A and B are shown apart, each in its own frame.
Chain A
Amino acid sequence: MASPMHQFEIHKIVEMPDFSLPGVGVIDMAITNSTVAMMLAAAVVILFFAITTAKAAVVPGRAQVVAEGIFSYIDDLATGIIGHEGRAFFPYVFTIFTFILAMNMLGLFLVFTATSQLAVTATLGVMTILLVILVGFIRNGANMYKLFVPAGVPWYMLILVTPIEIISFLLRPVTLALRLFGNMLGGHVALKVFAGFVVSLGAMAAGGGLGLLGIPGAALSLGGVVALTALEFLVAFLQAFVFAVLTCVYLNDVVNLGHHH
């Protein structure tokens, strides 16, 4: 049986000259299948929204309804969680959502899923948390410490609560990255394992004799692959949505620091 992890291997497609960054070292700038998958995803997103909004009509066509639907869905999400100031962060949330959605979906149609690479998801997670920290310091300045010191908690509890809050804040980018990575990796491994069963049980049945018992097993595995593929489409959307929701929630923490709504 072919290794289920083979699909996640990165190989270079176009060699590029190495780039050396002082303090970090030499960085391999080669274009890999991972970069190609990301470029494709970005191109699909840009093309989709360029085409659907090129001839925007007051009475929208089918494609325009889809584009406007995604747009207003994320807009409602951002303003619903952050409040009226959520509009300022809508472009970032929308970019993250559509980019992850495109990468997840293309991973189901093509051979490579960019979001099943920890490097990709970790970059997105770190980007989000850096934005949260930046926005927090710009909006609150020195009051940023209130994020770790909840109001109305007695001082002897703060000794316990503050370290927990700090740790949970620092774990946010880790869980953001690992959730997306783990879901996509796990889903694709399960798909590959069940597809491998079909092939190996089919080969057993081709041997004839008692091996013919492999046919119902292969049919069952094939049904499993179909069902899992349907589930993976749901997960692909859900993980993009979850990333967008959590980005909004984390931004809300620093935008509306100290006053709940």
Chain B
Amino acid sequence: MEAEAAKYIGAGLATLGMIGAGIGVGTIFGNFLNGATRNPSAAAGQFTNLILGAALTEALGILAFVLGLVILFS
């Protein structure tokens, strides 16, 4: 296998890490909606926590994405 081809495959494999971030962000928003529909009056106060959790989770997916870019363009 050519090195160039291996590079593309490696970059694709590296971005697979985003699957986990997708599941995580989905869980966070799903559970937020779950709680928000049960107690809508408390939902607005938790918006910052929601975004914070989503951002911290998403950062891990972004790490995988950046790693893929690094492999692709190095």
Q: Is the CB of B65 within 8 A of A242?
A: no
Q: Is the CB of B51 within 8 A of A245?
A: yes
In chain B, what residue has the closest Cβ to A248?
Answer: B48
In chain B, what residue has the closest Cβ to A243?
Answer: B55
Interface size class of B (residues with CB under 8 A): 10 to 19
Q: A246: which of B55, B63, B69, B73 is its contact (CB, 8 Å)? A: B55
Chain B, range 9-27, C-beta contacts under 8 Å to A:
none
What is the CA–CA distance of A5 and B66 in the complex, to the nearest angstrom?
14
- Name A's interface SS: helix
Q: Mark A180-194, 1 if CB is under 8 A from B, else 0.
A: 011101100000000
What is the CA–CA distance of A6 and B48 in the complex, to the nearest angstrom?
35
Q: With A182-B66, A183-B62 in contact, do A249 and B52 touch (Cβ < 8 Å)?
A: yes
Query: Does chain B have a CB within 8 A of A149?
Result: no
Residues of chain A within 8 A (CB-CB) of B56 are 175
What is the CA–CA distance of A242 and B55 in the complex, to the nearest angstrom?
7
19 CB contacts below 8 A, A to B, read A5-B73, A175-B56, A178-B59, A178-B63, A178-B66, A179-B55, A179-B59, A179-B62, A182-B62, A182-B65, A183-B62, A186-B62, A238-B51, A241-B51, A242-B51, A242-B52, A245-B55, A246-B52, A249-B52
Q: Please name 13 further chain A to chain B contacts, defined as beta carbons within 8 Å, in addition to the given A182-B62, A185-B69, A245-B52, sorted by A numbering.
A: A77-B48, A175-B63, A178-B63, A179-B55, A179-B58, A179-B62, A181-B62, A181-B66, A182-B66, A183-B62, A186-B65, A241-B51, A245-B48
